[in-house]
Amino acid sequence: MQKEITLKRFAGIVDAYGASPQRWPDDERAAAEALVAVSAEARALLADAAALDGVLARAPVDAPSSALAERLLAARPRGVAANPSPKPQAWFIRSLIETVWPYGSPVIPAGALAASIVLGATLGSVSDISVLTTETTITASVEDGAEDSLVALALAEPAWPEEWMQ
């Protein structure tokens, strides 16, 4: 026997889920549709909810960029048989470098880094200059969401597997 619902409950359903029966709770859908068929008040509530649904449908959405799909395919797992060598493959190293330094050739920043290390070591050996690592610097880099994402991408962070392994 079909469950019956009151107009008040119907108002609650459209207030929460909108006008489309597909979004209504499974166990109340048939009764709600039956009420719509016989009640002008229910139809008025439905029309009002449909107007809001119509506006909400205008929320913008764009297709994923092809660059995103390419990045994900480049980072996909590689089968054991296809990669018998434990050494990192060239594609992975390239992908890692591009992720950390997506601005072109990494030779210049790498050279600058090497030069700064040599200069620092030289200065350190001939003077009392010490390198200060402040908490501010560390905090700033940790709170930077963009860098978090880059690190996560580069390392394919294994943390937070959710219920995956339960």
Tell me which residues touch another protein (CB under 8 A).
12, 15-18, 22-23, 25-26, 51-56, 58-65, 68-69, 71-73, 75-80, 82-83, 143, 145, 149, 152-153, 156-158, 160-166
| Residue 50 to residue 26: CA distance in whole angstroms | 19
| Residue 71 to residue 76: CA distance in whole angstroms | 9
**Smallest separation, CB 22 to another protein (Å):** 7
Distance of CA 31 to the CA centre of its chain: 38
User: Measured from the CB atom, is 60 or 104 closer to another protein?
Assistant: 60
* C-alpha distance from residue 85 to each of 80, 88, 89, 91 (Å): 9, 8, 8, 14
User: Measured from the CB atom, is 55 or 132 closer to another protein?
Assistant: 55
* Tokens at 81, concatenated: 């048989």
**Smallest separation, CB 143 to another protein (Å):** 8
User: Measured from the CB atom, is 52 or 123 closer to another protein?
Assistant: 52
